[in-house]
Chains A and B, each alone.
Chain A
Amino acid sequence: MDAEVAVIGVGTMGAMTLWQLARRGVKAVGIERFNPGHDRSGAGGESRLFRTAYLEGSHYVPLLRAARDQWRELEEETGHDLLTLNGGLMIGGADTTFLRNVRASIEDHDIAHEVLDPAAMRRRYPQHPLGDGEVAILDHESGYVRPELAVTLAADAAERHGARVVRHRAVTRIEPDASGVTIIAGDETIRARTAVVAAGAWTNALLPGLTPRLDVQRLIMTWFPARDVSRFRTDNFPIFIRQTGDYDISGWPSLDGASVKVAVNHGWDHVADPDRLDRSVDDRLTALIRNAVAELLPDLYPEPVRVGVYMDGYTADKDSFVGPVPGLDNVIVLGGFSGHGFKMSPAIGRATAELVLDGGTTLPIGHLDPQRFHPVRTVADRLGLTG
């Protein structure tokens, strides 16, 4: 065996998993087709949301709180600020599924928050003029994380704990068997007891049997100049999600002292081949976000001055795959984070390390089990005759 665990892809999930394995003393190797910290996949763009009152469902909250603790541990180990909890405004129609889910998270898990009506918003956050019937919920357990710093620092920390990172090496095939996994990367072969596939947009190619297939989509981030940037600082402009009319957008405070990132909360289009990610964005495609900014954020100039292009794999239910791959021995997949994975990455790394070491995890990730799309066990399954 070359290693106990081989992590394929040292991006967001891979770097966190490698760190969590290495700090537990596991002999681990990470294999990255570019270099940790590259901007060609899911991570990047200066900031990512950290949210706890979770519109995707109250059942995520314990995992998100575990993630917050893991972010703090990574910060302590590296000496860098990675997670800033400056609050999160969830803005929308009072009686929408979006805010019902946010309220359910708050009530089920006692999240510190405030409900702000239009008058309170005018007073406290005049950057967001609300429409009729709209309300904001300020979640005090929300904020943002720094993606590029986090991925590179986690990879560096893993190496300090003894992990090996193989750079600029693309894995072409994995061959699992009863006693381990053979990983073929060009002319190099690595043998490990367990493989963790955290290959982002390349997951489909490495796991041809994984179903349903991940739908890889472009994530596009756009930055808009502020008319007065002092109104968009971390201390007076919480992160936000807003669903108004046809718009579903997120925003962050200005981190560069000039521009404010406002992004659309869904994929922009489909990526046929992740090796050919198109980094240019047509003006016709940015019309949706330009219009949203013009209508909802009058203190910003509605023209993007920076455009960042990334990609992520989406599942049908927008819950990711975290766990053993159905039908493959010794292979764990971390994929399909559907545009909302970054915040939880250090907890996903911890859960994966526990799955590898203990065969199970105390973190609540049952809803992410890749088996959920394979609920019907056949006679052959029951008799152990499936390979």
Chain B
Amino acid sequence: MPGGGVPLADPVPHLLEVRGLSKSFGGVHAVHDCTLVVPEGKVTGLIGPNGAGKSTAIDLITGFKMPDGGVVRFAGHEIQGWPPHRISRLGLIRTFQLPKEWPGLTVMENMLLAAPENGRDAIWRALFTPAQLRRAEYEDRARARAILEEFGLLSLRDDLAGNLSGGQKRLLEFARVAICRPRMVILDEPMGGVNPVLGARMGDAIASLVASGVTVTIVEHNLPFIERVCDSVIVMALGSVIAAGPFESLRSNRGVIDAYLGEVAAGVGEARPTDARSHPGAGSPRRDGGRLPWGVTGDGDDRRASPRGSPPVPGGPALAVRGLTAGYGGPPIIDGVEIKSEQGQITAIVGPNGAGKSTLLKAIAGVIRPTDGRVLLNGTDVTAQPPERLVRKGIAYVPQVANVFPGLTVRENLEMGGYVRTSGVRERADELCALFPDLKAALNRPARTLSGGQRSMLAMARGLMVDPAVLLLDEPSAGLSPIFQAAVWEQIKKIRDTGVAVVVVEQNTRRTLTHADWAYVMALGKNRLEGTGKDLLHDEEVVNLYIGRLS
């Protein structure tokens, strides 16, 4: 077994060592000079905000992507640039963010394929099977049955793996790793879409893997889970490792907090955690069951808690969302969410990864069908109407990606945005050109030649072509440089000043909160906090939601 003959006096040796690993895609550094070590026989967490380069780093380490540079040393071999199957045979196994079972094969076949192959795949062995090989297959089957029994999948062993539920597929993923008996496994977001009951089971499964001598590395957004199961944690941001050590040591690490919440925008002071406490009046943030910020095990009554009181009201709510629940066929991604958005206000929705922010916008815009709850537009129920009808009624939705027609010119893009208008397309386009000076100069250029910032502007302008009451923006500043982010925010403020109710979902929490009139903080599909942007900016509870409590 791995880790067998290690002398006790030695410090724990490093099973995996990564030095200066780099990879860029079209000039963007996805992973840049990444250096980390994973000690043998331990559980190591790999965390970091969206776009930190965690998944790319795993792909580079396990051979699924070719690194531009750097060294990966595993169990004494330099494995950078090796094909994935060779790395796997060396004992380094990985899982994927979405379970990748072999759907057309049975559960048992999935297990047998994960068991060490030992040359059994050869054609000639299939035709002239030696007795010992048949024996090995029989023993693998017996072992697979025992493991499946442990995971509660034994009765499903002759079913097609593709017919399993999402949770069962997650369990099968663990079962496959268990029968594989690797030296090390990298689990890529094993808790994605997993309910609390199953989550506890995952914890047990990881513990038993470790007990059998497997070194485990977990990439996960669910930080309380990481805190519970990991011996130490590596934090990545912008393609590099920014911190490493025991979880507790990272909570107070300035760099880690900044990585999760975004840099402090100009003109706003340092976050002062005590400010919120000193103003307990009407303006202070409200908490909905905020005592259990991540809610993995604290799933309870707080889902029914509705916001007490209401945000400031200059013109009456243009958009009201009541108890909205939606998902993608599996467990709900958003669960009983409540928000309101006023005319002439910027309403921001922020929260850690997996909070359900984008899903909320999709459910409001009719892109996905909510399973429960209501969406009210100026007091009229518009729940679950198809997006093309909602556009006519005044809800414009600007998705995060694929939000312009790259082959059409800017003018044509605007005209497409006004497709449902019966009149005044040209006039409205001219009005928007006045609002977006950047676009006026580029009217006859194809949208694909625009910069990222200009594209974002165009996407917003296109949404505004229908003169909507509500504009839903999904990460309008994602992937932009700080200067362009500032420009996008200036634009959003201009839009707000025309009287539109703007709902913005964003990753850069601090910058967003400085600009938002009212903000909702979501976590794990539920409302957690709400308040004016400025108040939330100085609220330590927000930090807790992102990186866990400052104990």
Answer yes or no: are A and B bound together in one complex: no
